[in-house]
Chains A and B, each alone.
Chain A
Amino acid sequence: MQRDARHNFMRLMLGACALFAMSAALVQAQTPPPPWTQGRSAEQESSPLKPLAPPPTATPGKEIPLAKAKLPPGFKIELWAEGIPNARSLALGAKGTVFVSTRLRTEVYAVVDRGGSREVKMITKGLNSPNGVAFKGGALYVAEISRVLRYDNIEDQLDNPPEPKVVIDTLPKDLPHGWKFLKVGPDGWIYFDVGAPCNICVPPATHAQIVRLQPESGTLETYAMGVRHSVGMDFHPVTKELWFTDNGRDWLGDNAPSDELNRAPRSGLHFGYPYCHQGDTLDPELGKNRRCGEFVKPVLKLGPHVAALGMRFYDGKMFPAEYHNNIFIALHGSWNRNEKSGYNLTRVSFGPNGEPKAEVFVGGILDGQNFWGRLVDVLVMRDGSLLVSDDWNGAIYRITYSK
Chain B
Amino acid sequence: MSSARRLLAQITGSIAGAIAVASALAADVEAGRAKAQTCAACHGEGGNSANPAVPSLARQPALFTMYQLMMFRDGRRKDPQMSPVAANLTDRDLEDLGAYFAAQKVVAPAFTGDPAKAEAGSQAARGYHCLSCHGANLMGSDQIPRIASQHYQYLRTQLRLYKARTRSDLEGQMTSSAQALSDEDIENLAQFAAGFPPP
Contact = CB atoms under 8 A, between A and B. Distances in A.
B50 interface: no
Nearest to B15: A65
A61 B169 CA distance: 29
Identify whether the interface residues of A are mostly helix, strand, loop, or mixed: loop
Contacts of A34: 129, 132-133, 173-174, 176-177
B132 A37 contact: yes
A106 B26 contact: no
Interface residues of B, number: 35
Identify whether the interface residues of B are mostly helix, strand, loop, or mixed: helix
Contacts, number: 80
Interface string A283-315: 000000000000000000000000000000000
Given A174-B172, A367-B16, A125 B74 contact: yes
B136 to A, nearest CB: 8
A50 B26 CA distance: 25
Contacts of B92: 57
B85 to A, nearest CB: 18
Contacts of A59: 23, 26
A56 B70 contact: yes
Nearest to A62: B22
B22 to A, nearest CB: 6
Contact of B74 (A45, A50, A106): A106
Contacts of A76: none
Contacts of A370: 16
Interface in B81-95: 91-92, 94-95
Interface in B120-177: 128-129, 132-133, 142-144, 169-177
B105 interface: no
Interface of A: 28, 31-37, 45, 47, 50-53, 55-60, 63, 65, 85, 104-106, 125-126, 174-176, 178, 367, 370, 372
Given A45-B132, A50-B133, A126-B75, 11 more contacts: A32-B180, A33-B128, A33-B129, A34-B174, A37-B129, A52-B142, A59-B23, A63-B23, A175-B172, A175-B175, A370-B16
14 contacts: A31-B180, A34-B129, A34-B176, A35-B173, A37-B129, A53-B63, A56-B66, A57-B66, A57-B92, A85-B91, A125-B74, A175-B172, A175-B175, A367-B16
